[in-house]
């Protein structure tokens, strides 16, 4: 008898973590009885009618709001409101479907606020692009960079974003509320064990479904009244006083039909919710059903509402002018009475206070002279950075946020980023290769400068490139290192077994054509030996002198290389 509920097994529940052995048993542990399947109310969670009706209701609301936009935003091009309505409906579809999908038990890991925020962010990005393309036009690059905030948040976008956000929020809220009417796994389990006298007979439920349904009804009523107010706003004339006056009210037929559809769809959803409420009540009371209730329910609802709707179409609608006048008179009279009562009370109060006579004279309040402010054009401080820089950073941040939102949204949808991952890995490999080459070269240079015992400071070229020589000693080492680099490129590189003093004659021989270079090579080698091995500090003047004369040696080695 419970088959009508359509209970299905958990498709996303906690699975084995893969540690079981090949025979399916955990090594070293006794046999564990298989976990009974967890059943969920799939017939309710996967129903299509409920999301469809919710989207229909919100679409009606969007049509009415679109009519308001079209009515009062005369500067917008024709068709803009229609596109806005389409996007709003798309937002509602997004909100409803995402909420309905996340209500599935297998999606419990994806119920994150980040997903919903990312979804809304993408939607607002679409709205922004639409408003630029179809509305105010895409601003120039200069405007985007110089006034990014104003470009992003203009009044058209704010209004359209508000409408789309409301649609999305309403869709998510209403879908979420009605999803809560589904039976929980615990309630299903209790119902299935109703014949087991040893089963737990507690019949509590953590969800007040009556309250959920009542809140939905209240929302339906409030939104309905809001729609009627919108219709009042968009109409152009007062109704005439006869039966056919409805056709002369100059209310857009689309708005009128939307409001009627809104109420009818709401009634259908209320009925749907009532069925869910009964199902849950019977489950908690452990009352089986033979399926006839669920089978007949939609037919009966459509028949009743259809019959009432058709009958209502033939009932009189006109002639409310006199009634309206009477009601207005009643309301006006009540307000007048309230005002007169208030005046009487105030009069009595002042009369009573006057009976007590004058009080002590109060000092007049000192009146301070008006401060006169003189607007002065203060000289503007010179900008620290170009104006376009802040705008660029702003848009980079916006694009990064939207991109991250898209990634979060698509990732949670199961979209694959294999190509992106491949690209990222390729870039990382290139960077790693470059870094390893750099590290290897710096180690080679450091090794060339170090002695056999391993004493002395070993540094890398990268350290030099990062900050340059940091003192006279470092500068001497730097100059000698660069000399070795140049000599290596000239084909007379120092071998690892050669000490600087052994290498010096070869170096001098290579640059023998320039006596200045020869003497400098000897002097540089001596200075390096002092700094590197004798640990004798170098003076700044001597280091500066060496730096100045180093260029000659470098030129000589360059000529050697070219030869």
Partner 1 sequence: MHPIFWALLALFLFGALMRMDWVYYLAYVVGGAWIFSTWTVRRSLGKLEATRELLDRAFVGQTIDVRLRLHNRSRIPIAWMRIEERVPLELKDRVDYQMALSLGGHESVERTYTLACKRRGYYAIGPLSLRSGDLFGFAESRWEENVQRHITVYPQTFPLPALGLPSRIPVGGLATPQRLMEDPARLAGVRAYAVGDSQRRIHWKASAHSGALLVKKFQPAIGLNLVIALNMARADYGTRYVVGVSEWAITVAASIAAWGVEQRQPVGLLCNAADAALGGPPPDLPPRAGQAQLTSVLSHLARAQLHSEAQDFVSWLAPRLSRLEWGTTLVVVTPVVSDDLVWLLHEAHRRGSSIVMIQVNDSIESRERAARVERLGMYMYVVLWEKDLHLLQQ
Q: Is the dihedral of CA 95, 98, 101, 104 positive or negative?
A: negative
Residue with tokens 């919903």: 116
Considering the complex, state which of residue 195 and residue 371 has its C-beta at the smaller distance from partner 1: 195
Considering the complex, state which of residue 318 and residue 471 has its C-beta at the smaller distance from partner 1: 318
Burial (Cβ within 10 Å: 0-12, 13-18, ≥19) of residue 430:
exposed
Considering the complex, state which of residue 308 and residue 348 has its C-beta at the smaller distance from partner 1: 308
Considering the complex, state which of residue 126 and residue 261 has its C-beta at the smaller distance from partner 1: 261
Which residues does 192 contact at the CB level (< 8 Å), separation at least 6?
Answer: 2, 7, 39
Supply 173's token pair. 């809220």
Query: Minimum distance between the CB of residue 89 and partner 1, rounded to whole angstroms?
Result: 22
From CA 88, how far away is CA 61, in angstroms rounded?
Answer: 10
Question: DSSP string of 527-540?
Answer: HHHHHHTS-PPPPH
Considering the complex, state which of residue 47 and residue 483 has its C-beta at the smaller distance from partner 1: 47
3-state secondary structure of 500: helix
Query: Minimum distance between the CB of residue 42 and partner 1, rounded to whole angstroms?
Result: 20
From CA 25, how far away is CA 383, in angstroms rounded?
Answer: 72
Angle, helices 292-313/253-284, rounded to nearest 10 degrees: 150
Query: Minimum distance between the CB of residue 289 and partner 1, rounded to whole angstroms?
Result: 4
Query: Minimum distance between the CB of residue 163 and partner 1, rounded to whole angstroms?
Result: 23
Query: Minimum distance between the CB of residue 282 and partner 1, rounded to whole angstroms?
Result: 5
Query: Minimum distance between the CB of residue 239 and partner 1, rounded to whole angstroms?
Result: 5
Which residues lie across from 8 on neighbouring strands? 40
Cα separations in angstroms, 540 against 382, 456, 525: 40, 21, 17
Considering the complex, state which of residue 13 and residue 298 has its C-beta at the smaller distance from partner 1: 298
Q: What angle do CA 385, 391, 397 make, to 5 degrees?
A: 115
Query: Minimum distance between the CB of residue 121 and partner 1, rounded to whole angstroms?
Result: 37
Considering the complex, state which of residue 288 and residue 537 has its C-beta at the smaller distance from partner 1: 288
Q: What angle do CA 134, 140, 145 make, to 5 degrees?
A: 120
Question: DSSP string of 196-213?
Answer: -TTS------S--HHHHH
Considering the complex, state which of residue 263 and residue 478 has its C-beta at the smaller distance from partner 1: 263
Which residues lie across from 41 on neighbouring strands? 7
- Residue 291 gets the label, from left (phi > 0), alpha (psi -120 to 50) or beta, of left
Query: Minimum distance between the CB of residue 205 and partner 1, rounded to whole angstroms?
Result: 17
Q: To which H or E segment does residue 543 belong?
A: helix 540-562
Query: Minimum distance between the CB of residue 316 and partner 1, rounded to whole angstroms?
Result: 8
Considering the complex, state which of residue 94 and residue 264 has its C-beta at the smaller distance from partner 1: 264
Contact residues: partner 1, CB under 8 A: 194-195, 197, 213-214, 217-218, 221, 224-225, 228, 231-232, 235, 238-239, 245-246, 249, 251, 256, 259-260, 263-264, 267, 270-271, 273-274, 277-278, 282, 285-290, 292-293, 295-297, 300-301, 304-305, 308-309, 311-313, 315, 317-321, 323-324, 327-328, 331
């Amino acid at each position: 008898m419970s088959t009508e509920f359509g209970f299905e097994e958990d498709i996303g529940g906690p699975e084995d973590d893969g540690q079981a052995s090949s025979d399916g048993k955990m090594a070293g542990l006794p046999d564990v009885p298989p976990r009974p399947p967890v059943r969920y109310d799939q017939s309710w969670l996967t129903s299509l009618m409920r999301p469809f009706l919710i989207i229909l209701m919100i679409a009606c609301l969007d049509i009415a709001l679109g009519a308001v936009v079209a009515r009062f935003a005369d500067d917008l091009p024709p068709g803009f409101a229609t596109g806005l309505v389409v996007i709003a409906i798309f937002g509602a579809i997004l909100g409803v479907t995402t909420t309905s999908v996340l209500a599935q038990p297998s999606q419990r890991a994806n119920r994150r606020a980040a997903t919903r925020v990312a979804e809304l962010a993408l939607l607002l990005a679409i709205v922004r692009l639409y408003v630029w393309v179809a509305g105010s036009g895409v601003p120039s690059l200069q405007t985007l960079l110089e006034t990014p905030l104003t470009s992003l948040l203009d009044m058209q976008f704010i209004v359209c974003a508000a409408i789309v956000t409301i649609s999305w929020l309403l869709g998510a809220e209403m879908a979420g509320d009605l999803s809560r009417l589904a039976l929980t796994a615990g309630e299903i389990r209790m119902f299935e064990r109703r014949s087991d006298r040893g089963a737990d007979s507690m019949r509590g439920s953590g969800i007040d479904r009556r309250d959920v349904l009542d809140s939905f009804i209240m929302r339906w009523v409030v939104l309905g009244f809001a729609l009627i107010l919108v219709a009042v706003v968009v109409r152009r004339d007062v109704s005439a006083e006869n039966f056919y006056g409805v056709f002369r009210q100059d209310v857009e037929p689309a708005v009128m039909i939307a409001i009627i559809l809104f109420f009818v769809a709401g009634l259908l959803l209320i009925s749907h919710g009532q069925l869910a409420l009964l199902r849950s009540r019977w489950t908690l009371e452990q009352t089986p059903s033979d399926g006839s209730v669920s089978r007949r329910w939609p037919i009966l609802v459509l028949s009743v509402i259809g019959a009432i709707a058709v009958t209502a179409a033939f009932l009189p609608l006109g002639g409310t002018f006199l009634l309206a006048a009477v009601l207005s008179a009643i309301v006006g009279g009540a307000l007048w009475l309230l005002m007169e009562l208030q005046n009487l009370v105030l009069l009595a109060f002042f009369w009573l206070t006057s009976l007590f006579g004058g009080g002590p004279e109060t000092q007049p309040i000192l009146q301070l002279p008006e401060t006169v402010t003189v607007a002065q054009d203060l000289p503007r401080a010179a900008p620290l950075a170009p104006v376009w820089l802040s705008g660029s950073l702003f848009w980079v941040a916006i694009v990064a946020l939207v991109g991250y939102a898209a990634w979060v949204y698509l990732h949670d949808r199961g979209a694959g980023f294999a190509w992106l991952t491949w690209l990222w890995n390729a870039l990382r490999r290139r960077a790693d290769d470059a870094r390893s080459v750099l590290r290897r070269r710096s180690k080679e240079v450091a090794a060339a400068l170090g002695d056999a015992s391993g004493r002395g400071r070993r540094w890398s070229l990268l350290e030099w490139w990062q900050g340059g020589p940091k003192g006279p000693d470092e500068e001497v080492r730097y100059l000698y290192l660069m000399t070795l680099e140049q000599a290596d490129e000239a084909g007379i590189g120092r071998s690892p077994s050669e000490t600087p003093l052994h290498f010096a004659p070869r170096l001098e021989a290579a640059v023998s054509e320039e006596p200045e270079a020869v003497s400098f090579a000897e002097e540089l080698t001596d200075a390096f030996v002092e700094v590197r091995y004798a640990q004798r500090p170098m003076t700044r003047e001597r280091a500066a002198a060496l730096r100045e004369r180093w260029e000659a040696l470098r030129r000589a080695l360059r000529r050697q290389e070219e030869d």
